[in-house]
Amino acid sequence: MNHGQQPSDDAFADLRRIIAKHWGFTTLRPLQEQAMQAVLDGRDSLVVMPTGGGKSLCYQAPAVQRGGVTVVVSPLIALMKDQVDGLRANGVAAAQIDSSLSDSDRFAAEVDLRQGDTRLLFVSPERLVSSDFYRILQQAGVHTFAIDEAHCISHWGHDFRPEYRQLARLREFFPGASVHAYTATATEQVRRDIIAQLDLRDPVTLVGVFDRPNLTYRVLPRHDLGKQVAEVLDRHVNEGGIIYALRRRDVDDLAASLKAKGVNVVAYHAGMSADLRQEAQEAFTRERCDVVVATVAFGMGIDRSNVRFVLHVAMPKSLEHYQQETGRAGRDGLEAECVLLHSGADYVTLKSILEKSANDAGADASFLPNALKHLEDMDRYARGAVCRHRALVEHFGQTYAAETCGACDLCLGDVEEVPGALVTAQKILSCVARVKESFGIGHVVSVLRGEESENVRRRGHDKLTTFGLLKGESKADVRDWLYQLLGQKVLMQVGAEYPLLHLNEASWEVMRGQRPVRLVRLVRRKKGERPEKSAAAEVSWEGVDAPLFEALRELRRQIAQERGEKPYMVFGDAVLRELARVRPSTPERMRYISGIGDVKLRDFADRFLPLIADRCRERELAMDVTARPVSLAPPRARPVDKLPARGQAAFDLFRKNTGIADVMRRLNYARSTVVEYLAEYIRVERPASIAVWIPEEVVQRVTAAVRQVGGERMKPIFLALGEKVPYDDIRLVLAYLQSRVSEMGT
């Protein structure tokens, strides 16, 4: 994987100051540094990061530092508007030019562009390559293009858009500009296609970890839709959520049912008028309602960061779609739940829809084999009995190292293994053989459960030796076990309209006891008993005063309404929770919180601080809550022999007192990578001094600041030191202090 040239300390010190000033962030997420450096170096790049991983900052922050004009290609007007509004709220000069603008507004935007008053310009792919518009961009001296949702350019992706193919002409119009492609979901095949279609030149290719540990995945058989939907909504009262249904009539029926039960819900699908769709989208993103029931037509243009659940009431048509749609939950990094309710009928329905589309397309039906492969992968995931986080990560070609994720139905104990799974599987497969592989799932379930229906008796199947072998099991469990066997490829379905169960060689291996199988079923919970929460959900609320958080949410909604903005543009939920945990008393203390930059502090401190003070006084809550000066827990560091080879190579150089810059040069690592390994080295090896990397005077200053403001978060330390000590230095000193505490056994 190509990580590009290494950033200079001075360049990144300036960039970090810009990020802290405008966005209020004090640390960068994985790969952001390398992605930003590619932009600053003028090198092409392909950046694949999961939703919520911080892709937009990778082109936004360098655009502010570098000056000139960066053009951002975005597929939807609503998506452009959200980004422009958010940037302006942070004090960044941004604009969009699209069909929604009046002639006068478009002319004004073009004037600003020519005069150099715009840093980021958002446009659609169609407008970008029109002959008149590209000349305006050439006159403005555009030097950088950021292609958002870049998977749309690939036939192998999950949301191909023909208009994106026109972007290949960028090389013709702007031969000296750098082009940067960004997407959240792209297999290796899609990544290769993006590079080829955009004609990226020796691109820096950065692929983040696809896992979203803040998401809890639950994949459950669909038994009682109304009850199962109600259970999810009950876990997320007053929280934002999206419910995805397969067809328009499903959306209308479910939305009407929820409204009748008093749920504040809106519907959204392509059959509604444009005005009604816009009204529904605005109601959801501005938090006038918390639940939307929609087809997949809803989503790409939605930038509500605090979606706490995504519920699919039918199976999506690919894992790429599933990753993209569930990725709309928890974009703020806080916990969120993703529930998929599925049935075997979903596969049949979707397959029929795809085949009909192929017939209608005629000669253009080349998409069908790839689409059916995507559908089979999704079906296997839904039926499988493998950790959901592991299955998703491995689908995208990465390794999942953890033994258990602690955040899916299988790892949280929502399901349990069926005792004697092999014997149960043998009974099921024997029944398929006894009915001569001529019937579907429903009939085989009836025979196994000993149902004396007319259909079973007429065929004499009540006389079979397999009749009633699973009489004590529920219909839902037996049906689900059949689907699990199909997912494990020890059973087959043949036929499209009326799929019949067939055996294969693996089936006979199971019946001979030569192949193991695993079957699971839902845990029977007592009435009112809720599923176990993930660790992310427990940690994110630690120390947070929930009533104060709700009061801050209401104030945020009021301010957003006054300003004509969406609530998350004021503050995200992560900032509100931190405000409700720390409960600052002054603007200086409020500035310590990550996500609060200079502009937002100026605009909102006088609204939020009085509310916090009043609520703390009413309920006798402590204010200016700080963390322990240094964590007294033993440092959580991997043993050296568990480090990857690159980490061990870095450790070898640190033992020789090699400086950070030399390690970067020798190993061709980014500074962030070297600092990460050095912090781990300090915690593990516990050197008596770190003076070779950090001057003693800096160690003393950081230590004094830690005693003053605590050591849990770096931003308060950075501010206490007058914003003069780089975050990397603070991180290394904190690692040193942790190693000292651990060594003393306190």
488-511: average pLDDT: 88
> For position 261, what pLDDT does the model report?
93
Of 241 and 332, the one with more pLDDT: 241
What are the pLDDT digits (tens) for 245-265? 988 999 999 999 999 999 999
Given a cut of 60, whether residue 745 has pLDDT beyond it is: no
As a whole number of angstroms, the distance between CA 361 and CA 381 comes to 29
Nearest to 69 by CA among 146, 143, 123, 136: 143
> For position 301, what pLDDT does the model report?
55
* pLDDT level of residue 30 (50, 70, 90 thresholds): low
Q: Taking the domain 215-349+394-407, which CATH number applies?
A: 3.40.50.300
Cα angle value 154/157/160 (rounded, 5°) = 60
Given a cut of 50, whether residue 122 has pLDDT beyond it is: yes
Of 731 and 432, the one with more pLDDT: 432
The domains spanning 416-522 and 640-744 adopt the same CATH topology:
yes
Nearest to 733 by CA among 688, 703, 707: 703
* pLDDT level of residue 603 (50, 70, 90 thresholds): very high
Residue for token pair 């858009």? 161
* pLDDT level of residue 449 (50, 70, 90 thresholds): very high
What is the distance of C-alpha 609 from the center of its chain? 32
Tell me the longest C-alpha to C-alpha distance in the chain.
Answer: 91
Q: Mean pLDDT score of the chain, rounded to an integer? A: 85
Of 363 and 572, the one with more pLDDT: 572
Angle between helices 319-326 and 368-383 (to 10 degrees): 60
> For position 285, what pLDDT does the model report?
87
What are the pLDDT digits (tens) for 197-229? 999 999 999 888 788 888 999 998 888 899 999
What is the distance of C-alpha 224 from the center of its chain? 28
The residue ranges of every structural domain in the chain are: 9-207, 215-349+394-407, 416-522, 541-619, 640-744
Distances (CA, A) of 620 to 328, 541, 583, 586, 617: 37, 19, 12, 18, 5
Look up the CATH superfamily of 541-619.
Answer: HRDC domain (1.10.150.80)
Q: Are 572 and 306 in contact (CB under 8 A)?
A: yes
Of 423 and 2, the one with more pLDDT: 423
**What are the strands, taking DSSP E only, across 613-682?**
none
Tokens of 437: 């592989």
As a whole number of angstroms, the distance between CA 706 and CA 716 comes to 9
**What are the strands, taking DSSP E only, across 209-345?**
215-221, 240-244, 265-268, 291-294, 307-312, 336-342
SS3 content of the chain, % helix, strand, coil (to 5): 50, 10, 40
Given a cut of 70, whether residue 505 has pLDDT beyond it is: yes
* pLDDT level of residue 709 (50, 70, 90 thresholds): confident
Q: What 3-state class would DSSP assign to 328? A: coil
As a whole number of angstroms, the distance between CA 260 and CA 299 comes to 25
How many CB atoms are located within 10 Å of the residue 361 CB?
12
Cα angle value 325/331/337 (rounded, 5°) = 65
At the top level of CATH, the class of 640-744 is mainly alpha
> For position 220, what pLDDT does the model report?
87
Q: What is the 3-state secondary structure (H, E, C) of 692-726?
A: CCCCHHHHHHHHHHHHHHCCCCHHHHHHHCCCCCC
Nearest to 210 by CA among 391, 3, 44, 32: 391
Given a cut of 90, whether residue 131 has pLDDT beyond it is: no
What is the distance of C-alpha 510 from the center of its chain? 38
Angle between helices 671-685 and 645-655 (to 10 degrees): 70
> For position 497, what pLDDT does the model report?
66
Q: Which residues contact 551 (CB under 8 A, 6 or more apart)?
A: 611, 615
Of 11 and 147, the one with more pLDDT: 147
Residue for token pair 């640390």? 27
> For position 635, what pLDDT does the model report?
42
> For position 421, what pLDDT does the model report?
93
β-pairing verdict for 492-494 and 500-502? antiparallel
- Indicate the burial class of 716 (C-beta count within 10 angstroms; 0-12, 13-18, 19 or more): buried
Q: Taking the domain 416-522, which CATH number applies?
A: 1.10.10.10
Look up the CATH superfamily of 9-207.
Answer: P-loop containing nucleotide triphosphate hydrolases (3.40.50.300)
Residue count of the chain: 746
pTM, to two decimals: 0.71
Given a cut of 90, whether residue 514 has pLDDT beyond it is: yes
> For position 741, what pLDDT does the model report?
63
Look at phi and psi of residue 624 and say left if phi exceeds 0, alpha if psi is from -120 to 50, else beta.
left
Distances (CA, A) of 131 to 126, 151, 197, 252, 368: 10, 25, 20, 43, 35
As a whole number of angstroms, the distance between CA 69 and CA 33 comes to 20
Given a cut of 70, whether residue 8 has pLDDT beyond it is: no
What are the pLDDT digits (tens) for 622-648? 998 875 444 433 344 444 445 556 678
> For position 85, what pLDDT does the model report?
86
Please state, for a pLDDT cut of 90, what percent of the chain lies above it: 36
What are the pLDDT digits (tens) for 322-362? 988 898 899 888 899 999 998 877 887 888 888 888 787 66
Q: What are the DSSP calls for 469-505, one per residue?
A: TTTTS-HHHHHHHHHHHHHTTSSEEE-SSS-EEE--H
β-pairing verdict for 415-417 and 520-522? antiparallel
- Indicate the burial class of 297 (C-beta count within 10 angstroms; 0-12, 13-18, 19 or more): middle
